[in-house]
Amino acid sequence: MFEAVSGVLITLCVLPFLPFILVYLVGWLRKESKPSSFQRAMDFTTPFLIFSVSALYNYVFSSSFGFYLLLLILFILVGLLGSAQSRKRGRIQPEKLIKGFWRLSFLLLAPCYVLLIGIGFITYIVNS
């Protein structure tokens, strides 16, 4: 049982676009609106992108610092978003801050994933 669950999680981390497509299709089949299906798919895919981008960073740059660097960048991002929200509204709304941070993380990590996959593929071909 544990092996099956870990196999599924590893697959979803290696291919983070797969859970995005699955969640979006489930929302589409349930007749949800396109924006809400897309947002739910973004929310579900973000943790898989975090792990896959950090692993790809470690592979491409022969490092073990990828996860910590990504966490540092994400913490800086949430701080900047909180500061902007405080300046604009005069106070911080935690639920909106977390939702905005989570979705902005997806929008930043998706291109990083594509870029690192391309670099990793080229590196693998050159080294073979």
The more confidently predicted of residues 4 and 37 is 37
* pLDDT of 76: 96
To the nearest whole percent, how much of the chain has pLDDT over 90? 64
**pLDDT of 7:** 72
**Any idea what the Cα angle at residue 123 is, between residues 118 and 127, rounded to 5°?**
155
Q: Residue 2: what pLDDT?
A: 64
d(CA 52, CA 12): 9
CB of 58 closer than 8 Å to CB of 66: yes
pLDDT of 87 reads 92
pTM, whole model, 2 decimals? 0.86
Give me 63's structure tokens: 């490092």
Of residues 56 and 8, more confidence is placed in 56
What pLDDT is stored for residue 128 in this prediction? Answer: 81
As a residue count, the chain comes to: 128
Helix (H) or strand (E) holding 30: none
Predicted local distance difference test score (pLDDT) of residue 75: 95
Q: Do 19 and 48 contact (CB within 8 A), yes or no? A: yes
| Contact (Cβ atoms closer than 8 angstroms) between residue 92 and residue 86 | yes
C-alpha span between 99 and 67 (Å, rounded): 21
Does pLDDT of 6 surpass 70? no
Tell me whether residue 28 is exposed, middle or buried, using C-beta atoms within 10 angstroms of its C-beta: 0 to 12, 13 to 18, 19 or more. middle
Q: For the segment 18-73, what is each residue's pLDDT rounded down to a tens digit?
A: 899 999 999 989 988 888 999 999 999 999 999 899 988 998 998 889 899 999 99
Indicate if the pLDDT at residue 113 is higher than 90: yes
